[in-house]
Amino acid sequence: MLNIFKNIGLKYPIIQGGMAVRVSTAPLAGAVACAGGIGIIAATGMTVDELRLEIREARRIANNGTIGVNVMFAVRNFAELVKTALQEKVDLVVSGAGFSRDIFSWGKEAGIPILTIVSTSRLARIAEKYGAAAVVAEGFEAGGHLGTELSTAEIVPEIKSAVKIPVIAAGGITCESDIAEMMSLGADGVQMATRFVLSKECTVADSFKTHYLSAREEDVVIIKSPVGLPGRAIRNVFSEALARGESPDISCDDCLKVCSREYCILEALENSRLGHIDQGVVFSGQNVFKIKEILSVKEIFKSLTGAFSIKAN
């Protein structure tokens, strides 16, 4: 198996994608780590103290499993959040939605691997040059902010041939056969997010999960995020208003480095996570409609790990 996974003693090369705001927190990340994958806490939208508590709680649940932290480069407290994760000695840090050069020297100093989310072979090469331990190749089927209009199956082989470091496929992967397809395209592992929202351990409001379960293929839409990137989400009252060019009132606390201020994306994500679905953005991957039931993380792993030589029990 590849180094990053071998070095951290991982059972399965499955990363649970970081999901802000507070969609992937300690209960989910800890359960994924316990099941033999990598559990990721999304730090975006948290304070440093909140993140510290989440990491400690995830570690408690994880039973020595692998815990990482995901931080969006776009947030103003990016450096503080990354440095907190490193001080807490997480197993890895993943950065997305923008590119930080500094993070690699901070990771090197702390002896903790840094993974970068990329959508092009050009950015993958730059990440490798700066010292990324692996890249997450995220295609357009992914939930949340998007960096490409190409599919995961299109970018994985291209990025794989551009770099020597491990390539982790992300975007639209919901089942064992999707994992097998990505491995056959050269991926060294996978990152999955939407599948793990529909887990018992994910702490979002029940109405958030119901919105996922009732989504049809045509309900998954692209919205405009004030970050300046398109975002993939499930259609709702909020997304329809945005599509008509209406912007909700916001209370801005200047949390992003770059923001159009059309609305507050962090507030919109927090609203939906709390169950105020009509007042928020429900980020989701393109293939949400393929997932029909809420399972425990252990059951999800059991359904996925036939793609690997070691089966989950």
Ligand X SMILES: Cc1cc2nc3c(=O)[nH]c(=O)nc-3n(C[C@H](O)[C@H](O)[C@H](O)COP(=O)(O)O)c2cc1C
Query: Which part of the chain contacts ligand X (CB under 6 A), choosing from 29-37, 108-116, 155-163, 188-196?
Result: 188-196
List, in sequence order, the alpha helices (H) in the chain: 3-7, 26-35, 48-62, 78-87, 102-110, 121-130, 152-162, 176-184, 194-197, 206-213, 237-243, 265-273, 297-304
Q: What are phi and psi of 220, to 5 degrees?
A: -90, 120
Structure token digits, residue 95: 């950065």
- Least spacing, CB of residue 164 vs ligand X, in Å: 22
How far is residue 52's CA from residue 31's CA, in Å, rounded to a whole number? 18
Which residue's CB is nearer to ligand X, number 284 or number 305?
284
> Which residues have C-beta within 8 Å of that of residue 218, sequence separation ≥ 6?
none
How far is residue 34's CA from residue 201's CA, in Å, rounded to a whole number? 12
- Least spacing, CB of residue 16 vs ligand X, in Å: 8
For residue 217, the 8-state DSSP code is G
Output the residue with the shortest Cβ distance to ligand X: 285
- Distance set, CA 87 to CA 47, 58, 150, 188 (Å): 15, 15, 36, 28
> Which residues have C-beta within 8 Å of that of residue 116, sequence separation ≥ 6?
94, 95, 96, 99, 123, 124, 127, 132, 135, 136
- The binding track of 85-104 with respect to ligand X, each residue x by CB under 6 A or -, is -----------xx-------
For residue 256, the 8-state DSSP code is B
Which residue's CB is nearer to ligand X, number 42 or number 223?
42
Q: Is 23 in the site for ligand X (CB under 6 A)?
A: yes
Q: Which residue in 284, 297, 298, 307 binds ligand X (CB under 6 A)?
A: 284
- The binding track of 286-305 with respect to ligand X, each residue x by CB under 6 A or -, is -x------------------
Q: Which residue in 4, 10, 14, 20 binds ligand X (CB under 6 A)?
A: 20
Q: Which residue in 117, 155, 169, 182 binds ligand X (CB under 6 A)?
A: 117
- Least spacing, CB of residue 283 vs ligand X, in Å: 4
Residues of span 148-187 touching ligand X by CB under 6 A: 170-173
On the CB side of 33, how many CA atoms lie within 13 Å of its CA? 28
Q: At what angle do helices 176-184 and 297-304 cross, to 10 degrees?
A: 50
**Residues contacting ligand X: total by CB under 6 A:** 29
Q: Is 191 in the site for ligand X (CB under 6 A)?
A: yes
- The binding track of 45-84 with respect to ligand X, each residue x by CB under 6 A or -, is -------------------------x-x------------
Q: Is 116 in the site for ligand X (CB under 6 A)?
A: no
How far is residue 209's CA from residue 186's CA, in Å, rounded to a whole number? 32
Residues of span 209-228 touching ligand X by CB under 6 A: none
Q: Rule CB under 6 A: which residues touch ligand X?
A: 17-20, 23, 42, 44, 70, 72, 96-97, 117, 138, 141-144, 170-173, 191-194, 283-285, 287
